Amino acid sequence: MVSDLFNKTKEKMEKTLEHYKTELKSVRTGRASVSLFDNIKVDYYGTPTPLSQVAALNAEPRMIIIQPWEPSMIKPIEKAILTSNLGLTPSNDGRVIRVPIPPLTEERRKEIVKLVKKMSEEAKIAIRNERRDAIEKLKKMEKDKEISEDDNKKGAEQIQKLTDEYIKKIDEVTEKKEKEIMEI
């Protein structure tokens, strides 16, 4: 009973961590990375389609080169990039789209770090909510005489250790991303 709850809680916390990591990929750093475009959807004949499914993306030191598989996709891809809130301006030569990645100013880096800290806090809140839900389930199980008081306490301790472990993982991922953002 308690181990099932522990495993389900761990699974949910792992999903929260993975979601946070995925969100961080779309946060801009000073270098060109195709992962910046992971969340961009292009209007492909009326269907929102991930950019990577309609074009080849290549990263150069300060530029992303996007080569659409169909020339007619150049305009929709440019539009998707412009409306993506990445603050990037694409240009095309009729065959490929070039997206220069300008170096970040110190001020902009600090703003991005603040955004990352906010995202980190939201992920931690989600982890703590998982902990709260699990502990409430333990209390209910004890109240319903499904587990003993000792099992409830041991379960709550395990859930707390798990929570601490995932909060630490989020902090590590955040710290790594902040270093990436602040390096020139």
My answer on whether 158 and 92 are in the same domain is no
DSSP tally for the chain: helices H, then strands E: 4, 6
**Cα distance between residue 101 and residue 30, in whole Å:** 8
My answer on whether 164 and 109 are in the same domain is yes
Q: What is the CATH number of the domain that holds 86?
A: 3.30.1360.40
Count of domains forming the chain: 2
**Cα distance between residue 103 and residue 116, in whole Å:** 18
Domain boundary among 55, 76, 100: 100
Domain boundary among 75, 100, 125: 100
> What pLDDT digit, counting tens, does each position of 145-173 carry?
888 889 899 999 999 999 999 999 999 99
DSSP assignment, residue 84?
T
Residue 174 has pLDDT above 90, yes or no: yes
Which range of residues forms the domain containing residue 4?
1-28+105-182
**Cα distance between residue 98 and residue 62, in whole Å:** 10
Average confidence (pLDDT) over 131-141: 93
**Cα distance between residue 155 and residue 5, in whole Å:** 9
Domain boundary among 79, 100, 121: 100
The pLDDT of residue 94: 86
What mean pLDDT, rounded, does the chain reach?
A: 88
The pLDDT of residue 184: 60
The pLDDT of residue 129: 96
